[in-house]
Amino acid sequence: MAAETADAGARPRALAARAVAGVIDQGQSLDAALAAWPSDLSGADLALARMMAYGTLRDYRRLGALLAPRLKKTPQPVLDALLRVGLFQLEATRVPAHAAVHATVAATKSLKLSKARGLVNAVLRGHQREPVRLGDEAAVGVMHSYPDWLVERIAADWGAAATEVLAAGNDRAPMHLRVNRRRTTRDAMLAEWRTADLSASPMTVCADGATLAAPVAAERLPGFAEGRVSIQDGAAQIAADLLAAHDGQRVLDACAAPGNKSAHLCERADIALTALDIDAGRLATLEATLARLGLSATTRVGDAAEPAAWWNGEPFDRILLDAPCSGTGVIRRHPDIKWLRRATDIDTAAVRQRRLLEALWPTLAHGGRLVYATCSILAAEGDDIVQDFVAATPDASALDPAPLVGQPTAFGQRIAPGAHDLDGFYYAVLVRE
Amino acid sequence: MAILEILHFPDPRLREVTEPITVFDEALSRFIDDMFETMYDAPGVGLAATQVGDIRRVAVMDCSEDKNERIVMCNPRILWSEDEEVVDEGCLSVPEHYDRVTRATRLAFAAQDRDGSEYEMEVEGLLAQCVQHELAHLDGGLYIDKLSRLKRERIRRKMAKNAKRQDEA
């Protein structure tokens, strides 16, 4: 039997370790790290490498705590990542233990860590024989693998529900789809997927939404290329319900890229949509999305906080402000967020969110409606922003949320990650007198 | 000692069924040493006699990290096996190809050492996988027999192409 057997499994482990180190050590986003993977990686190896990179980042801090007692000194970043990838397999996957150890040890070769071969082998075999177990006294941030500052903020905002919120951020996210009601119906799409042996079910909280039982790549999803369906979390689909734009209205999507919410608004009604974004490259993605779905909008590159540069003075009947945020509501889809964000980022984001709201308000027609949204679960980026704004703006008031999908807050609603199977989100609906 | 030529699929000699060893002499011992040297050189973790064009029922293995745990299996037979898993596997007679096959996780086998002495051994993991792989060789089997006909055909074509390229070089 050939000796390189394990090398076939070494590659996905090496790539997963590199991606994890890219996030932790170089501050790369996981998406960027994955984009650097070689294009010939496919099928089972790609799935395995992704599963290990995501899983290791979800469980990163706890894995470190399991690892620490077996190490005399801090390993260099890539070795540290490989050890955690190895432990993750032993802890949380159905990869047979000896295969996990063997392939992870073999991964040292392509990572130029051959000198650490023995160490990787000893640590993983040691854990296999006699796993370190964390006692009840271990910190919440270790057990659930979050940085302490984020645990504190979530605890302050969510109280008794905080543990559930932390745990939900470590679950694997479902694949949610949005049916383009201009081209087909949800029932017709469900039937089409059934014919293709894909198991999908309608979402109760989203009129256009469906959940796919097992994820499928976009290019192999029946209806995607033909523009009958898009991939979008259900929590984001609620924006269109709350905005309730009608035929003929002038609508602004202020931070529009990559364009899923813009597209949904155009699918729902014959509106004159201006899709604005500060990033020209990401706006090109939006244009491609609209083209795929057979929709059109006026696209503008510009900073939503500086309307003088892009606004012609005609007020909008509806504005969607899906403000840039910490992304703490979508940690289950982007586990790297836990390790890339700093406590100070929240304050910086809040300053920007307040400025956006203030700058856009004058562009809203009297009697018009603005939906403020973030995929953050922190009050500092949600209700606190709206509270301050409403207090300082005489002609602004918050409507009772309808539909109410999450929990009502003083000024809007918040959706806990995992509630109704959705991403964590915040929404407020403001009207101008 | 000498490094022997390893036959490549689809060489028909790989399909020979080996004959039980009855004489444990100096010649057999020398052959076993050559098999080890050939296996380490390849590099491999196991080698069966059919792979070097011999029909004696013997295979050698060493699945250790430090290449210091030699196992000689003359006339081996599996006593019991349990649990199955899907593992990556490759074969020195099917170079540069790896695939996933189902193997028992643990097993015990009985065999004779190079001097004819009987022994039994319980193994798991890579070693268990290797025992199953080598035993199949001794009956003319290859791990790719477990794959679909389509995959096997693809491998056959790839091997033929490689062989041609080597002839031309």
The one-letter code for the residue type at A405 is V
Residues of A in contact with B127 (CB under 8 A): none
- Is the pLDDT confidence value at A274 over 60? yes
Tell whether B125 is covered by a domain.
yes
Residue B72 lies in a domain: yes
Query: CA-CA distances (angstroms) from residue B95 to A1, A159, A200, B144, B163?
Result: 10, 60, 43, 12, 11
Residues in chain A: 433
pLDDT > 90 in chain A, percent:
87
pLDDT score of A158 more than 70: yes
With a threshold of 0.85, tell me whether the complex ipTM lies above it. no
Give the pLDDT score at A295.
97
Inter-chain residue contact B130 with A1, CB threshold 8 Å: yes
Among A206, A255, A266, A375, the active-site one is A375
What is the distance in angstroms between the Cα of B133 and the nearest Cα belonging to chain A?
A: 7
Choice among A8-12, A191-195, A320-324, A341-345 with the minimum mean pLDDT: A8-12
What pLDDT, on a 0 to 100 scale, did the predictor assign at position A233? 97
**b/e A294-328 (16+ beta carbons within 10 angstroms → b):** ebebebbbbbbbebeeebeeebbbbbbbbbbbbbb
Q: Does A95 touch chain B (CB under 8 A)?
A: no
Longest CA–CA separation in chain B, Å: 48
A9 neighbourhood in chain B, CB within 8 Å: 88
CA atoms lying within 13 Å on the CB side of residue B14: 21
Residue B69 lies in a domain: yes
Do the domain assignments include residue B88? yes
Q: Are strands A272-277 and A407-408 parallel, antiparallel or unpaired?
A: unpaired
Closest approach of B169 to chain A, Cα-based (Å)? 25
Amino acid A2: pLDDT = 82
Q: What is the CATH number of the domain that holds B148?
A: 3.90.45.10
Model confidence at A4: pLDDT above 70: no
Measured between CA atoms, the residue of chain B closest to residue A10 is B88
Q: What is the pLDDT of residues B126-139, one digit of tens each?
A: 899 999 999 999 99
B84 inside 8 A of chain A by CB: no
Nearest Cα residue in chain B from A117: B65
pLDDT tens across B83-125, in order?
888 888 899 999 878 888 899 999 999 999 999 999 999 998 8
Beta pairing partners, B121 = B109
Whole-number pLDDT of residue A5: 52
Q: Using one digit for the tens of pLDDT, what is the confidence trace for A7-39?
A: 678 999 999 999 999 999 999 999 999 999 988
Span A79-84, average pLDDT: 98
Q: Taking CB atoms and an 8 Å cutoff, what residues of chain B touch A117? A: 65
| pLDDT in the model for residue B98 | 80
B4 within a domain of the structure (yes/no)? no
Question: Which domains can be identified in chain A, with CATH numbers?
Answer: 3-136 (1.10.940.10), 234-432 (3.40.50.150)
Q: What is the mean pLDDT of residues A277-283?
A: 96
- Please indicate whether, in this complex, the C-beta atoms of B92 and A2 are within 8 angstroms of each other: yes
**Mean pLDDT of all residues in A297-313:** 97
* In-domain check, residue B6: no
Whole-structure pTM over 0.80, yes or no?
no
Q: Is A375 a catalytic residue?
A: yes
User: Which residues of A are less than 8 Å from B104 in CB distance?
Assistant: none
Distances (CA, A) of A37 to A41, A45, A105, A344: 7, 12, 20, 31
The whole-number pLDDT of residue A39 equals: 82
Determine, yes or no, domain membership for B37: yes
Q: Is B100 on the interface with A (CB under 8 A)?
A: yes
* Residue B127 counted as domain residue: yes
pLDDT at B73: 98
Give the pLDDT band of residue B158 (cuts 50, 70, 90).
confident
Domain that holds residue B37: 12-168
Q: Is pLDDT at A402 greater than 80 in this prediction?
A: yes
The CA-based dihedral angle spanning residues A389, A393, A395, A398, taken in that order and rounded to the nearest 10 degrees: 20
What's the pLDDT at A7? 66
Mean pLDDT within B149-155? 88
Instruction: Place B169 in a pLDDT band, splitting at 50, 70 and 90.
Output: low
Nearest by CB to residue A8, choosing from B61, B88, B134, is B88
Q: How far apart are CA A412 and CA A51, in angstroms?
A: 36
CB of A267 closer than 8 Å to CB of A181: yes
pLDDT digits (tens, 9 = 90+) for B19-77: 999 999 999 999 999 999 999 988 899 999 999 999 999 999 998 877 889 999 999 99
Look at A96 and B88 and tell me if their CB atoms are within 8 Å.
no
The one catalytic residue among B5, B120, B134, B153? B134
The Cα–Cα gap between A412 and A171 comes to 26
With beta carbons less than 8 A apart as the criterion, state whether A78 and A84 touch: no
Distance (Å) of CA A250 to CA A172, A281, A384, B10: 38, 25, 28, 71
Count the domains in chain B: 1
Q: Inter-chain contact A1–B134, Cβ cutoff 8 Å? A: yes
Q: What is the pLDDT of residue A237?
A: 98
Q: Which residues of chain B does A10 touch, with a Cβ-Cβ cutoff of 8 Å? A: none
SS3 A311: coil
* Distance set, CA A218 to CA A75, A238, A318 (Å): 38, 22, 31
When pLDDT is averaged across residues A294-318 and rounded to a whole number, the result is 97
d(CA B93, CA B38): 12
Flag whether residue B92 sits within 8 Å of chain A, measured between CB atoms.
yes
User: What's the mean pLDDT when you consider all of chain A?
Assistant: 95
Report yes or no: A185 at the B interface, CB cutoff 8 Å.
no
